[in-house]
Amino acid sequence: MSGFDLYDTTLRDGAQQEGLHLSVDDKLAVARLLDQLGVGFIEGGWPGANPKDTEFFRRARTELVLGSARLAAFGSTRRAGVRACDDPQVAALLEAQTPVVTLVGKSHVRHVTDALRTSPAENLAMVADTVAHLVAHGRTVYLDAEHFFDGYEADPAYAVEVVRVAAEAGAEAVVLCDTNGGMLPHDIERVVSATAQRTGVRLGIHCHNDTGCAVANSIAAVRAGATHVQGTVNGYGERTGNADLIAVTTNLQLKLGMPLVSDGQLAATVHVSHAVSEITNLPPFERAPYVGASAFAHKAGLHASALRVDPDLYQHIDPALVGNEMRTLVSDMAGRASIELKGRELGYDLAGRPELLARVLRRVKELEGAGWTFEAADASFDLLLHEEVQGRPAALFELESWRVRTDAEGSASALSEATLELRVEGRRQVAVGEGNGPVNALDHALRQALTPAYPRLVELELIDFRVRILDADHGTDATTRVLIDTTDGERTWTTVGVGPNIVHASWIALVDSFTFGMLRCPSRAEPVAHAAVAR
Ligand SMILES: CC(=O)SCCNC(=O)CCNC(=O)[C@H](O)C(C)(C)COP(=O)(O)OP(=O)(O)OC[C@H]1O[C@@H](n2cnc3c(N)ncnc32)[C@H](O)[C@@H]1OP(=O)(O)O
Ligand SMILES: CC(=O)C(=O)O
């Protein structure tokens, strides 16, 4: 939409988040993803502040080919008492060779006197000189008016004067910053409206999330006239973060009807959000609006019964618009409709089979009552459903027995050995496996017994193993729940086992993991295995 800017500051303000570290390669990769999202501006960092940001801009010149986004360098207004042309920090902004420069400038009079330790008049000159200097060098300049909202409450005339001075010096827009993030939407709407009326200057908004209102505040500002909105992917940022630019953009587009990005770019938002999470190495926030794994996940039986009729009944948008999907969760809050919908997701048509649905539901509720959790273990639920549909369990083998012993010499280390006796395709086998713990030993023994019949087992890797005590007051006598995540390199699935013996619970989850991997999750090269369980 022309005349409206989506401005991303993930690489600058987002990187100010505790625990978030980006290498130059990471920054370049994130910038490419942001471009896919359709933002107009990517703020790459503060050249001159650290070698990494300087290097980012140097490499960006040759390595970063952007579609529609323009790169912005960030820095502050010149120092007090120094000419803009003599300030090395301002020079670094020009050396970054970006088409856009965003300056942070003070707009709260107490920050001028107490933090900058200069006069209000000198701060106005710092803003005006630096903007004019950069504009004279051909840059599009934005001024981030720091602490604008607090400054406006303290001294509106001064805060507004900063806006005027920046615009007169050539700033493209002045971005009003809720730097401390303490505002509520009605404060933002009032102050943005008043500032627009008093100055006639094009305004932007930059919100932090300290009241949990950064997205709402950004939207309030747009409703009050702001035509430039700043934020970060996944809401990363200093303290509690910045406005999540994905939520802001999606709300503006889908709720306020502003055509900001193409349908394809909107549908890429889940991908971009998760890909950026991979790079930042911060797990995606499951309950994130629009893009979270739980954003369209339905647990309550009543919801599922209405969703079965029409997904719109319990969803505010079609998840496909943002590249997400609806999921049904099966748990002790499920009803028959939940089982039917989950079955549909897993490829079973259970419509018109009320007895089967009731039977599965009964089993789910009983097992959940005993500590199982199917919402976290889709693969175990799939196997349960498969058993009820087929009238027999999916099984790779018939078990005769297993045992594990653990030997320790001294306290430094312990070694486990597992022995399995089982029948695979009718042939009796005895397998022995060693491991650094009982589950590892069972894993090795089971692979040894099964791999000749199921060679694809070598592709399976256990990537996570989580144990939870279900009745903490029982101490070491407690019931345990084990969840195992497994991957074959293409898909990842979770299985569950429960029991008072932690090794037994692990065995159940391990067997489900292998069974699902071999019988219910065939690789594309192995359609035969799928046919073996065809319904
Ligand atoms: C609201 C925001 O988030 S704005 C972005 C903030 N981001 C960062 O601070 C990350 C990058 N920052 C840095 O690497 C460093 O702080 C640097 C390189 C910028 C400056 O480092 P130093 O020169 O050692 O100064 P230091 O960080 O101690 O203090 C900041 C200085 O900038 C001055 N300053 C702060 N805001 C402004 C401004 N808008 N205009 C001009 N000067 C400013 C301060 O008065 C202080 O000056 P002083 O050194 O004379 O006391
Ligand atoms: C500029 C900025 O990051 C802020 O005021 O929060």
pLDDT in tens, 279-314: 999 999 999 999 999 999 999 999 999 999 999 999
Full 3-state SS string of 52-91? HHHHHHHHHHHHCCCCCCEEEEEEECCCCCCCHHHCHHHH
ipTM of the complex: 0.96
CB of 178 within 6 A of ligand 2: the answer is no
CB of 76 within 6 A of ligand 1: the answer is yes
Q: Are residues 212 and 342 in the same domain?
A: no
pLDDT at residue number 438: 95
CB of 443 within 6 A of ligand 1: the answer is no
Q: Are residues 259 and 304 in the same domain?
A: no
Q: Are residues 134 and 275 in the same domain?
A: yes
Q: Are residues 456 and 323 in the same domain?
A: no
Q: Are residues 205 and 348 in the same domain?
A: no
Q: Is residue 100 part of a domain?
A: yes
Distances (CA, A) of 466 to 372, 390, 499, 511: 13, 30, 14, 16
Domain with residue 42: its CATH number is 3.20.20.70
Q: Is residue 291 part of a domain?
A: no
Give the end-to-end CA distance of the chain in Å, rounded to a whole number.
50
CB of 50 within 6 A of ligand 1: the answer is yes
Share of the chain above pLDDT 70, in %: 97
CB of 179 within 6 A of ligand 2: the answer is yes
Q: Whose CA is nearest to atom 11 of ligand 1?
A: 49
Atom number in ligand 2 closest to CA 9: 3
Q: Are residues 430 and 520 in the same domain?
A: yes
What's the CA-to-centroid distance between 77 and ligand 1, angstroms? 10
- Chain segment 208-260, per-residue pLDDT in tens: 999 999 999 999 999 999 999 999 999 999 999 999 999 999 999 999 999 99
Q: How many domains does the chain have?
A: 3
Ligand number with the minimum distance to the CA of 53: 1
Distances (CA, A) of 109 to 124, 187, 189, 433: 10, 19, 22, 72
Q: Are residues 348 and 405 in the same domain?
A: no
| Predicted structure pTM score | 0.89
What's the CA-to-centroid distance between 87 and ligand 1, angstroms? 13
pLDDT at residue number 522: 66
Q: Are residues 137 and 190 in the same domain?
A: yes
- Chain segment 416-434, per-residue pLDDT in tens: 999 999 999 999 999 999 9
Q: Is residue 336 part of a domain?
A: yes
Q: Are residues 118 and 54 in the same domain?
A: yes
Domain edge (last residue) among 280, 308, 331: 280
pLDDT at residue number 526: 47
Domain with residue 500: its CATH number is 3.30.160.270
Q: Is residue 375 part of a domain?
A: no
Ligand number with the minimum distance to the CA of 9: 2
Domain edge (last residue) among 213, 247, 280: 280
CB of 242 within 6 A of ligand 2: the answer is no
What's the CA-to-centroid distance between 147 and ligand 2, angstroms? 8
Q: How many helices and strands in the chain, by DSSP H and E? A: 19, 16
What's the CA-to-centroid distance between 518 and ligand 2, angstroms? 52
Q: Are residues 25 and 130 in the same domain?
A: yes
Is there a contact between 111 and 147 (Cβ–Cβ < 8 Å)?
Answer: yes
pLDDT at residue number 306: 94
Q: Whose CA is nearest to atom 24 of ligand 1?
A: 49
Q: Which domain holds residue 107?
A: 5-280
57: Cα within 13 Å, side-chain hemisphere: 28
Q: Are residues 275 and 305 in the same domain?
A: no
Q: Is residue 134 part of a domain?
A: yes
Q: Are residues 12 and 159 in the same domain?
A: yes
Domain edge (last residue) among 280, 305, 329: 280
Report d(CA 182, CA 162) in Å as an integer: 21
- Chain segment 23-82, per-residue pLDDT in tens: 999 999 999 999 999 999 999 999 999 999 999 999 999 999 999 999 999 999 999 999
Q: Whose CA is nearest to atom 4 of ligand 2?
A: 179
| Nearest-10 Cα torsion for 201, 78, 95, 168 | 20
Q: Is residue 379 part of a domain?
A: no
pLDDT(524) > 50: no
Q: Is residue 374 part of a domain?
A: no
Q: Whose CA is nearest to atom 21 of ligand 1?
A: 49
Q: Is residue 381 part of a domain?
A: no
pLDDT(530) > 60: no
Is there a contact between 235 and 242 (Cβ–Cβ < 8 Å)?
Answer: yes
